[in-house]
Structure 1
Amino acid sequence: MSKLTLITHVYNAQEGVNQQIEEWRKYSPDLLDQLEFIVIDDYSTPPLLIDKGNLNLRHFRVNDDIDWNMPGCRNLGAVHAASPWVLYFDVDAITPEKNIRLMVNNLDALNPNALHVFNRVHHGVFVEPHINTYLIKRTGFFKAGGYDEDFIKHYGFEDVLFRNMWRRHVGPDILVREITFYQLGHRTKDLNRDISRNQALIQYKAATGFPKPQSLIRFDWTEVS
């Protein structure tokens, strides 16, 4: 069984996926034997094309046209991951093979209740770790409640809420200083990034005691062969 599942989701970012897969295919066979890859196409137009080659890769497509369905995509990835540990990252975040190997080699030494974040470099400068790049135990994901799909169709705050739920129900955030991710800069244009609706929603969640999300994966999806 694989030790670590790498999970990313994309919307209209074929180039970013191509770049990731090109890097993954260069990994040593002994490392690939310990990995699973999950790529979720969030209703891209045209649909995402993936040549799996020799990779242990599962490709899912969301069949419903839902704006800002990141919470649903991340839930879908966790539900189908076969490994005890999962690494989440956006498709424009990349790290060398040596760092993935470092993770795999040290999984048994990590705090199983921690959410592990990493250094990030953007335009050659170290910046704050990305909120969507982290390594956790799969069981912790569900203990935290997963992502709240009440936030879909609108932009923002689903990631902030997940971090809050992790700290409340699972454990701390820990910065792994030995590992760095590099921001590639892919960004989907012409999307509505108004945060007002979800800002009000997270305030409501706070006022009601941060209840755990209900009813994960509220959309139709297909596994692409």
Structure 2
Amino acid sequence: MLKYQQIQLTYIVPVYLDQNLDALYHLIKTYESYDLETLKQIHFIFIDDHSPVDVKLPKNCQLNYSLAKISTHIMWNQGGARNLGVHLAKSQKMVLTDLDHTFPESVFQFLIQTKTPNQIFTFKRIRDNEVAMPHYNTFFLSKSTYFKSLGVDEEFCGHYGHEDVFFIEFQKRVGTKLYTYRDQTIFSHEHKNSKQPQHQLHRDSSITKPLFDAKYRILKDKNRDPFDAHSRLFLNFEWHQVEESIKL
């Protein structure tokens, strides 16, 4: 554990790519340009969610990083990938996000310096030079807060959508407050609408929407234990660590 002592912030991002690694490499190159004193305190965890392409990090990657691969084929398993990322995190303070979002160096510095949160904080997004509302797939919280709701419910995995919304609604039900930073904004790229999207998976929430509705009814029933809504599925797949470098 000595090599993790300088880590103040863990950055967790699921990776599913079926075209090329351009989006991942662009993100890494952007972060490699940041000040070394900032990067020394961040651990980047990349979770390859069984991508059809061979996910490898650039040679001589100038970040503290871990790369793990989910070897079980489960479509739309980003919830499971997030659970794995948090499982591997060595710091209390964490950012959970995806490849569509980039954090300015100033936001990293702010999060490193701020105290460990006991609530969840989201970020306004700059998209096409305009301010967009926060997305539930990107937020700042502590590892202990994450597990107040038993992590992301992996019963949603295998189909598109609603696992992130249910995670937030569950957190609200167990008393976690949700705030949006006023001044700390991030950049949103919306790769799904680009000429080279990260993947071509079909977005169909016809399975997850009824599942969410049933679980949400339990959460809203004050006479029910909210934990009745959670399947208890956690790391419901095979995985292995591919590589790690904590050397900054």
- Category of TM-score, reference length = shorter chain: over 0.9
2:64 is the counterpart of 1:56: yes
Instruction: List, as ranges, runs of 4+ consecutive aligned residues in structure 1 with deviation greater than 3 Å.
Output: 207-210
CA distance in 2, matches of 1:198, 1:66: 15
Q: What amino acid sits opposite 1:164 in the alignment?
A: E
Residue aligning to 2:137: 132
Residue aligning to 1:68: 76
Secondary structure of the equivalent of 2:152? coil
CA distance in 2, matches of 1:125, 1:139: 34
Q: What amino acid sits opposite 1:84 in the alignment?
A: Q
Once the two structures are superposed, residues 168-199 of structure 1 have per-residue CA deviations (whole angstroms, 9 ceiling, x without a partner) of 22411111111111112212453221111111
Residue aligning to 1:205: 215
The range that moved more, 176-185 or 69-78, is: 176-185
Question: What are the residue-to-residue correspondences of 1:30-49 with 2, within 5 Å?
Answer: 30-49=37-56
Residue aligning to 1:193: 203
Query: Is the contact made by 1:9 and 1:39 (CA closer than 8 Å) also made in structure 2?
Result: yes
Q: What amino acid sits opposite 1:192 in the alignment?
A: H
Query: Is the contact made by 1:122 and 1:184 (CA closer than 8 Å) also made in structure 2?
Result: yes
Q: What amino acid sits opposite 1:17 in the alignment?
A: L
CA distance in 1, matches of 2:183, 2:200: 36
CA distance in 1, matches of 2:182, 2:35: 24
Query: Is the contact made by 2:16 and 2:199 (CA closer than 8 Å) also made in structure 1?
Result: no
Query: Is the contact made by 1:72 and 1:147 (CA closer than 8 Å) also made in structure 2?
Result: yes
Offset of residue 68 of structure 1: 0.4
CA distance in 2, matches of 1:213, 1:87: 24
Query: Is the contact made by 2:153 and 2:231 (CA closer than 8 Å) also made in structure 1?
Result: yes
Query: Is the contact made by 2:155 and 2:233 (CA closer than 8 Å) also made in structure 1?
Result: no
2:159 is the counterpart of 1:154: yes
Residue ranges of structure 2 left out of the alignment (5+ in a row): 193-197, 220-225, 244-248
Q: TM-score, normalised by structure 1?
A: 0.93
Question: Relative to 1, partners in 2 of residues 1:37 and 1:190: Cα closer, same or farther, differing over 3 Å?
Answer: closer
Q: TM-score, normalised by structure 2?
A: 0.85
Question: Relative to 1, partners in 2 of residues 1:32 and 1:190: Cα closer, same or farther, differing over 3 Å?
Answer: closer
Question: What are the residue-to-residue correspondences of 1:171-186 with 2, within 5 Å?
Answer: 171-186=176-191
CA distance in 2, matches of 1:43, 1:26: 28
CA distance in 2, matches of 1:223, 1:189: 23
Count residues with an aligned counterpart.
222
Offset of residue 215 of structure 1: 2.9
Residue ranges of structure 1 left out of the alignment (5+ in a row): none
Residue aligning to 1:98: 106
Match of 2:149 among 118, 121, 144: 144
Offset of residue 53 of structure 1: 2.6
